[in-house]
Structure 1
Amino acid sequence: MGNEAGEWIIHGVTWDDPKCIHDVDEAVEYINRVGFLPLFKNEIPGFSLEERTVAEYWWSDDPVRDPWRWRIAIAKRHDVLYGKFFAKKAGFISKKWLPVFANYRRDGYDFDALFEDEKAPIKHKNIMDHFMENDAEIYSYELKKLAGFGKDGEKGFDGAITGLMMQTYLCNCDFRKRINQKGV
């Protein structure tokens, strides 16, 4: 996706193009076949979900054809990882390729050893400690509060989460909207 003359442009293909991915199942099959895939166009021509889908369907809110909605369905399935893995940008990694990414991105460290060797900041440690205490799944707004981020606390929660995703310690597994006390 690029911004050309102030207008956001999606670089896609036509529905009948042999490279076109038509639905979420085809997307998962393709990601598993190639191993990993950025969500949006990048420096490698043709290597993104954006460039293998029909541009007109992005943000159409059609759960069957909208690639923006597919990322939610893919994350919920848990058979392909979704997160900010590519130059702090979103994409997918197959479970088969996850160990390769983890070995490379973590340089052999589990998180505790990384922190002990002073190669991770305390804000990352606070996030990981609370993440692990909550059975490895927690709403981001809850994690933010528990880890001491927010109005009167640490700054840079989103950047810290992105950093942990880049190192493959975290990924998105669902997208749920927060519901207030009034049920809205």
Structure 2
Amino acid sequence: MGEAGKQENVTTFEEMAEVVARLGIVPLAPLIPEHPSVNGLTLAENWHTDTELDPWRWRVRFPGEGLAGYGKFIKKKAVLVSREWLPAYLAASGPRKSLEERYQSGLATREALTLLEIIRANEGIETRQLRSMADMKAKEKKTAFDNAVTELQGSLDIVISGVKQRVNADGEPNGWNSTSFETSGHWMHEAGILPFEGSREEAIAWLRSRMEAAWAPEAVAWINKALGWK
């Protein structure tokens, strides 16, 4: 069994950053068999406390500090991918064609295309503004909006880049913080991360070699199947 099989207790952001850097891919909640998750490594009483020890806050510190890409990348579940692994992960699992080409082929939704066009022109846009600009503020359009945002994360076209405090017309804090989005390429550029130089097959081989050194065999087998790697 790889290093991932060890029991760990993580209390601080810095400790979790070490785990993410070592394992490369860490889901927020249990997802990959015999593989750690942020939820599984941390104490339940620290969640949603809005303190430095709150893992819910860490999820946006990672992309905010350029330490890991974050989004619903695997089976519509939130995952952290370290800055070292992200270029290879994008090359191995990202789309072979542009979203426009996928849309024309019936492989992407109109809503996803609309949202991506807006995000490209407004990198770092927050959820409420994105819904407004896409004319999807109505309640009956919320499900379509949520599905399109999840679709774009699953295809690795976008990442969650952080959260922004909502404010009212007077600039005062108003309501819950809102998730913000960027295209994957823009986030990587801003974080100083270079694209993977090599083919999709070379990216998969790069990832596998590191997974086999640090992950449990069950975890490696699962992700190979989940991502369709051959």
Paired residue for 2:129? Answer: 142
Secondary structure, aligned partner of 1:85: strand
Q: Distance in 1 between matches of 2:163 and 2:139?
A: 26
Note the C-alpha offset of 1:29: 2.1
Structure with more contact order per residue of length (Cα contacts < 8 Å, sep ≥ 6) = 2
Separation in 2 of the partners of 1:113 and 1:100? 23
Write the deviation string for residues 92-146 of structure 1: whole angstroms up to 9, x where unpaired.
Answer: 0112322343234434123233233332111111001111112x22112111111
List alignment gaps of at least 5 residues for structure 1: 1-16
Change (3 A) 1:145 1:59: same
Deviation at 1:72, TM superposition (A): 2.5
Q: Are 1:62 and 2:51 matched, yes or no?
A: yes
Following superposition, the deviation at residue 88 of structure 1 comes to 1.2
Q: Which one-letter code corresponds to 1:141 in the other structure? A: R
Q: How many residue pairs end up in the alignment?
A: 166
CA distance in 2: counterparts of 1:157 and 1:56, whole angstroms: 32
> Over aligned residue pairs, what C-alpha RMSD do you find?
2.3
Q: Residue 97 of structure 1 aligns to which amino acid in structure 2?
A: W
**Corresponding position: 1:119 with 2:107:** yes
Alpha-carbon distance in structure 2 between the residues aligned to 1:152 and 1:33 = 42
Which has the larger displacement, 50-59 or 164-173? 50-59
**Percent sequence identity over aligned pairs:** 25
Label 1:115 to 1:98 Cα distance change in 2 as closer, same or farther (>3 A): farther
Note closer, same or farther for the CA distance 1:112–1:96 as it changes in structure 2 (3 Å cut): farther
CA distance in 2, matches of 1:41, 1:139: 27
* Aligned residue among 26, 29, 36 for 1:37: 26
Deviates more, 1:104-113 or 1:156-165: 104-113
- Separation of aligned partners in 2, 1:158 and 1:172: 13
